[in-house]
A and B are shown apart, each in its own frame.
Chain A
Amino acid sequence: MKFASWLRSWEFMLAIVLAVELIVLGIINPAFLNIENLLFSTSDFVHVIIAAIGLTLIIMTGGMDISGVSVMGMASIVCGLSYVAGAPIELAVAIALVVGFAAGSFNGTVVANTDVNPLVITLAMMFLYAGIATGLPTLLDMMGFASMGPGGFEAYQYEGISGLPKHFTWIGTGGIGWIPNPLIITIVLAAAASWLMLGTRFGRYLKLIGVSADVARYTGVPVKRTLIAVYAINGFGAAVAGLVLTAYFTSARSDLGADALLNIITAVVLGGSSIYGGQGSVLGTFLAGLALGYLRQGLLALGITSDVVPVIVGSVLIGTVALKIGMSVLNTKRANRAAYAAERMAVSGNGG
């Protein structure tokens, strides 16, 4: 019984979609199914999955955070600037992670303490963080730190910061055996988030807040603290995504990941989360992110220009949600019909 319900789950469907997709792409272009190639090509898109994992937790609570794409760029440039200012790379990475965590906590604090729509708040934060990321080099110059960087920091605003140490860029480009490091980081984060959601009280709180924040409050759930924590986790995740991308491109830029928003939200929604809250799974987001990423890789390998890819991703997003709505309408109808039939049986049984 439990096995049967597992077979009907959204995650299982996604796994099948992923497998079918790989097989179809492999039949069209056999070179695509090279295992090493398949594994290492994930590095192009795992930053989307990493950011989507944090967003899944937030969407569980019925919230939203679109500022993650800016936190990615901000973490990247903060790491780069700290490094050229003389900090060892380990410290630079730690500073960037703290900045991401702090940015997320700030989002969460404002969301938890006002009744303003999270979308509006994080929209403002998205502009704010993107602006800080692009403005930071000139700010450092104005504040008189110019002497610490080689000839002022302003040049880094557009060029990006390269020349990062080898053992940092290894995180993005290297791997353990056949498995690239970014994918390992993604899997570890996904497992941790999954455990948070399924194995801890915190995860239960997230779901309860998503179903009804008022009920959660009356039940004694620390709603504010939970919300701040979950937005902070998302900020941390976005910073990790930005750093992984930095290491992969071997260059710190303020606009890294800026165009990932559509892909991130598509991965979360395709993964089975409802944007109204209370429903979602990290495994689903992970599988959906893989399916989307490989779809894009496969289309490019087939010679379809990258211009068409957003058309297809957008259609997949709309199609998935339309399909889910259609399925739930059908289920309601079937349940109604069953209830009606049972009622009639009961009535006729009484009559006879």
Chain B
Amino acid sequence: MMKVFKSREFLVLVLLVVLILSVATVNKAVLNPITLINIVNSALFLMLIAMGQMFVVQTRGIDVSVGAIAGISAVIFGFALNAGLPLPVAMLFALLTGLVAGSINAVGVVFVGIPPIIMTLGTLGAYRGFMRVLTGGSWIESIPQSIKSLAVTRFFSVPLMVWAVAALVVVVAVLLARIKAARNFYAVGDNYDGAYLLGINVKATRFAAFALAGLFSGAAAIVFTGQIGFVPMQTGNGLELKAIAAVVLGGVSLMGGTGSIWSAVIGALFLTTVDSMMIFLKVPGSWNNAVAGAVLLAVVVFDYLIRRSVRRRQLAARAAEMRRSEIEAEGAKSMPKSANKTLQPTEASS
């Protein structure tokens, strides 16, 4: 239990509550449950993309193409629906598109050995261009409105999509806790060579991370299309960087091996809440990016300072320990030393 309170995810969650409460002192409307539900609802898209990104960052990779993957999945989803395919089949197509796009990244990174940032930056351009080629640069409208009814359906005044994503998060969290292979993501990210020596299939693990990032982006595309009812060309534009910001904010280090699915969830919630709070504080929307950047910078620098002070205290403790044992050793050594000295003359005489 203590561990939960000390985690970075918890720290950001507390910051989130503090943020909402302090805005509430200025504008009470924030605390309206409907407002809070709407914030969660608008965080879903980023949250799903961030969940996929989490696996990649955890294995010490980075995927800047996830936004473009979401875009291309949304386009395929729109095409499938317009072709008259039933909703579940269209969803399957969107997920498959994401999976394939993610796997292409994985092949380049894992089997060719291209650095992740270069590979995914390349596919970012390629997927986004491909998306424009597919649609001829125009939006996909006239999507059957059955998909939109999914977004407006509410149970206990909470949208169906929120329930669905919440269920997904819980299922993924349980799976990650239950499946032994899920620990491989941590091992590979923390120490690639060590994981290899332990007999972990490092290549398969990294491959899975990139493929999962694609899959989750496909899922995000379904949510996005459902929420707005058409597919604009900008779908997912710039979200790759927001998704990285979200997972880093939530406690996944780019050096790999840390963080959890909750990092992605809480990080995405935080960034979306910051955007909404700006409205309640009547700050012009043009400042959203600046605030998001300042928050991210503050959190990573603050996190560094905490880690440094912890490390310094550990080092100081170890130094004190060593000095103490040295003094003890000095006391023990002084005997043989004097014995040595007394021996010397006898050696010389013999």
Which positions in A face B, CB cutoff 8 Å?
64, 110, 114-117, 119-121, 123-132, 134-135, 138, 157, 261-262, 265-266, 269, 275-276, 305, 307-315, 317-318, 321-322, 325
Contact = CB atoms under 8 A, between A and B. Distances in A.
Interface class of chain B by DSSP? helix
B125 A262 contact: yes
Contacts of A117: 253-255
Classify the interface of chain A: helix, strand, loop or mixed: helix
Nearest to B104: A318
Contact of A307 (B123, B129, B255): B129
B122 A314 contact: yes
Interface string B96-131: 000000000000100011110111011111101110
Given A132-B290, A135-B284, A314 B245 contact: no
Contacts of A276: 115
B166 interface: no
8 contacts: A110-B301, A123-B241, A125-B297, A130-B289, A131-B287, A131-B289, A134-B289, A262-B125
Contact of B124 (A114, A262, A308): A262
B286 A116 contact: no
A64 B123 CA distance: 19
A124 B304 contact: no
Interface of B: 62, 108, 112-115, 117-119, 121-126, 128-130, 132-133, 137, 241, 244-245, 248, 253-255, 284, 286-294, 296-297, 300-301, 303-304
Contact of B117 (A115, A130, A275, A310): A275
Given A138-B284, A138-B287, 18 more contacts: A116-B300, A116-B304, A121-B297, A124-B297, A125-B293, A127-B289, A128-B297, A138-B286, A261-B121, A265-B118, A265-B121, A275-B118, A308-B129, A314-B124, A314-B125, A318-B119, A318-B122, A321-B118
Contacts, number: 140
B286 A134 contact: yes
Nearest to A154: B284
Given A117-B254, A131-B293, A325-B112, A310 B248 contact: no
A180 B285 CA distance: 39
A58 to B, nearest CB: 14
B68 to A, nearest CB: 10
A231 to B, nearest CB: 14
A142 to B, nearest CB: 9
Contact of A311 (B117, B129, B289, B296): B129
A130 B125 CA distance: 21
A310 B114 contact: no
A337 B176 CA distance: 45
A131 B121 contact: no
Contact of B297 (A110, A138, A265): A110
Contacts of B301: 110, 114, 116
Contacts of B254: 117, 119-120
B293 A124 contact: yes
Contacts of A114: 300-301, 304
B112 A322 contact: yes
Contacts of B126: 310-311, 314-315, 318
Nearest to A265: B121
Nearest to B133: A307
Contacts of A121: 297, 300
Contacts of A313: 125
Contacts of B288: 131
A315 B121 CA distance: 10
A272 to B, nearest CB: 13
A131 B108 contact: no
Contacts of B123: 314, 318
B293 A318 contact: no
Contacts of B304: 114-116
B300 A120 contact: yes
Contacts of A318: 108, 114, 118-119, 122-123, 126
A261 B286 CA distance: 21
Contacts of B248: 120, 123
A312 B288 CA distance: 33
Closest CB pairs A-B (n = 4): A131-B290, A127-B293, A128-B293, A131-B289
A269 B126 CA distance: 17
A321 B122 CA distance: 10
A299 to B, nearest CB: 11
A128 B286 contact: no
A170 to B, nearest CB: 31
A71 to B, nearest CB: 13
Contact of B137 (A120, A132, A135, A307): A307
Contact of B129 (A127, A132, A309): A309
A195 to B, nearest CB: 28
A104 to B, nearest CB: 15
